[in-house]
Chains A and B, each alone.
Chain A
Amino acid sequence: MALTYQIDIANKSFKDDGGNQRTIISDLSITLTAGEFVTLLGPSGAGKSTLLNIVAGLDTDYQGKVKLALPYGQPARVALMFQEPRLMPWLTICDNVMLVCEGASSQRRSNALYWLQQVGLSGAEYQYPAQLSGGMLKRAALARAFACEPDILLMDEPFSSLDIPAADSLRNLLTQLWQARRTTVVYVTHDITEAITLSDRILLLSSQPMQIQEDVSLTAQRPRNPLDDELFTLSQLFKQSLADPA
């Protein structure tokens, strides 16, 4: 049987500014199969980021259980790529990546340099984040996410702030890295085309409280063209569901 990870959230709510209790997530259950690329597709404000923060262990104020364990019970290693690059401005790009690596210092350095080369940042290793462009910072954040060798990689709309060509090239890069490494990815987005281009499986989410509306598996070969008949039909379907939630 394939390794799976289980996310069960019975209730996640918070007090809004008016002091009212608002439920964001209730009775949500997601099973992830190791090695698959799962996208959570839903409208902005549905609570997707909240869900990722819970899975990443940043938000512990919820009812439910997140079980991310490897076969012998040790906890799975999790990485989270944020919407912004969130690099430490006082560390060089290389030191930023080294920060999250494990092992001896020399091993961490060679690991960091390897991943920086993989994302095409050779030559910029010893620069500070303030010296790099937005696209390069995203690449550095992507290198950091892969460098810690995660079992589960959580990505929170990582390319949403980039211009279209830069975002496209980063998505291609992500697909390449993921195909080579086959880590489990949970990718959050509100962009239908992005979801269809990247994923093995798409969970279409409704908002308030968050619920899984549809669970669709995609088998099309990569690299994908979102204008292919099959994919295009699917995207039209998603567009309708998002515009007119059942």
Chain B
Amino acid sequence: MHSHPALTRVMSMVVFILLWQAAVMLFTPELLPAPYAVLTNLMSHIDSGELPHHLAITLRRIAISFLCAMLLGSLLGLVMGHFKRLDLWLDSVMTLALNVPALVTIILCFIWFGLNETAALIAVIVNKTPNIAVTMREGARAVDKRLLDVAKAYQVPAGRTFIKVYLPQLYPYFLAAARGGLALVWKIVLVVELLGCSDGVGFQLSLFFQYFDITSVLAYTLAFACIIFALEAGVLRPWERRVLKWR
């Protein structure tokens, strides 16, 4: 019926909200506000200027830690993928880093570096870098040597080989790392803010939790989800389409 994928996406959201509304009307639960109540609440938070303020701070933290983690993780992953001996050395450390709970890293960072912005950012970066490195290591291992041989046999200049022959083989892995990275980073940033910051969405959520203000919790979540959704649809997906056009 709905052959248009965008329409299907929208429809699934509409169905979800209708079900939510129906549940509220049927059971009139005390702890679940209706979608409409959440929306009005959201508007008042936006009007007061408090939500944009905290959202901007959180988005800034996400952007910085995401970019740093992507950069560090990619470098580490590519180096590990290309140098077997180094890979062997770092592999068990990597497995360890992947399996340390985010909470532990966050607590340690705040204890070691103090309750400040830098500690918060480091905590997120340390959490995320290993995941990106693992993905990029796969990418480096999958690089087709036969295509690099073409560039070598034709004496293609190094810079051109890097941009036209090497990097394109990594794009799918960059994309996968960025996708997974974004999804994880924003969740970790909220936890970091909950534990050791005096502003940001995570901090606000902890306040609402103390007052049992469920409507505000949902309103903030909604605002946040919308932005992540927009990033995914407006940046990541078009980039993917462009880069993987040849398929």
Whether B154 lies near A82 (C-beta < 8 A) is no
Q: Is B114 an interface residue (CB 8 A)?
A: no
Complexed CA–CA distance, A56 and B156 (Å):
13
Alpha-carbon distance A154/B153, docked complex (angstroms): 10
> Which chain A residues lie closer than 8 Å to B153 at the CB level?
56-58, 78-80, 154
Is A224 an interface position by the 8 A CB rule?
no
Asked if A88 and B164 sit within 8 Å, CB to CB, the answer is: yes
Q: Does A24 contact B (CB under 8 A)?
A: no
A58 touches B149 (CB 8 A): yes
A86 to chain B, nearest CB (A): 5
Contact of A89 among B146, B149, B160, B246 (CB under 8 A): B246
Closest to B165 in A: A88
CB-CB contacts below 8 Å: A49-73 with B: 56-58
How many pairs, one residue from A and one from B, have CB atoms within 8 Å of each other in the complex? Answer: 49
Given the known interface contacts A89-B246, A91-B164, A99-B160, the answer about A148 and B154 at a Cβ–Cβ threshold of 8 Å is yes
Q: Which of B120-163 contact A (CB under 8 A)?
A: 146-147, 149-156, 160
With A128-B246, A130-B246, A130-B247: A90-B168 Cβ-Cβ less than 8 Å? yes
B interface SS class: helix
Report if A222 contacts B (CB, 8 A): no
In the complex, which residues 65-107 of chain A have their Cβ closer than 8 Å to any Cβ of chain B? Answer: 77-80, 82, 86, 88-91, 95, 99-100
In Å, the complex CA distance between A95 and B160 comes to 12
Residues B168 and A88 in contact, CB atoms below 8 Å apart: yes
Q: Which chain B residues border A130 with CB–CB below 8 Å? A: 246-247
Q: Is the CB of A57 within 8 A of B152?
A: yes
Establish whether residues B246 and A86, one from each chain, have CB atoms under 8 Å apart when the complex forms.
Answer: no
Query: What range describes how many residues of B lie at the interface?
Result: 10 to 19
Cβ–Cβ contact A99 & B164, under 8 A: yes
Q: How far is the CA of A148 from the CA of B160 in the complex (A)?
A: 15
**A residues less than 8 Å from B151 (CB atoms):** 99
Q: How large is the interface on A (under 10, 10 to 19, 20 to 34, 35 or more residues)?
A: 20 to 34
Among B146, B149, B151, B152, the most chain A Cβ lie within 10 Å of the Cβ of B149
Give the secondary structure class of A's interface: loop
- Residues of B within 8 Å of A90, CB to CB, are 168, 171, 246
Find out whether the CB atom of B154 lies under 8 angstroms from the CB atom of A100: yes
Q: Give Cα A86 to B165, complex, Å.
A: 11
Q: What mask results when residues 159 to 178 of chain B are scored 1 for a CB within 8 Å of chain A, else 0?
A: 01000110010010000000
Query: Which chain A residues border B245 with CB–CB below 8 Å?
Result: 128
Q: Using a CB-CB cutoff of 8 Å, which residues 225-242 of chain B contact chain A? A: none
| CB neighbors of B among A155-200 (8 A) | none
| Chain A positions 131-146 with a Cβ under 8 Å from a chain B Cβ | 144
* Cα distance, A154 to B149, chains bound together (Å): 14
Residues of A within 8 A of B154 (CB): 79-80, 99-100, 144, 148
C-alpha spacing A33/B82, complex, angstroms = 40
CB-CB nearest in chain A for B171: A90
Would A77 and B246 count as touching, CB distance under 8 A?
Answer: no
The answer to whether A86 touches B147 (Cβ under 8 A) is yes
Of A79, A80, A88, A144, the residue contacting B147 (CB under 8 A) is: A88
Chain B residues near A99: list those with CB within 8 A.
Answer: 151, 154, 156, 160, 164-165
B160 surroundings in chain A (CB, below 8 A): 99
CA distance A232 to B153 in the complex (A): 36
Within 8 A of A (CB), among B194-247: 245-247
Residues of B within 8 A of A78 (CB): 153, 155
Can you name 25 A-B residue pairings with CB atoms under 8 Å? A56-B153, A57-B152, A58-B149, A58-B153, A78-B153, A80-B150, A82-B146, A86-B146, A86-B147, A86-B150, A88-B147, A88-B164, A88-B165, A89-B246, A90-B168, A91-B168, A91-B246, A95-B164, A99-B154, A99-B160, A128-B245, A128-B246, A130-B247, A144-B154, A154-B153
B residues contacting A by CB (< 8 A) are: 146-147, 149-156, 160, 164-165, 168, 171, 245-247
19 new A-B contacts, CB < 8 A, other than A88-B164, A128-B246, are: A58-B149, A58-B152, A78-B155, A80-B150, A80-B153, A82-B146, A88-B147, A88-B150, A88-B165, A90-B171, A90-B246, A91-B168, A95-B164, A99-B154, A99-B156, A99-B164, A100-B156, A129-B246, A154-B153
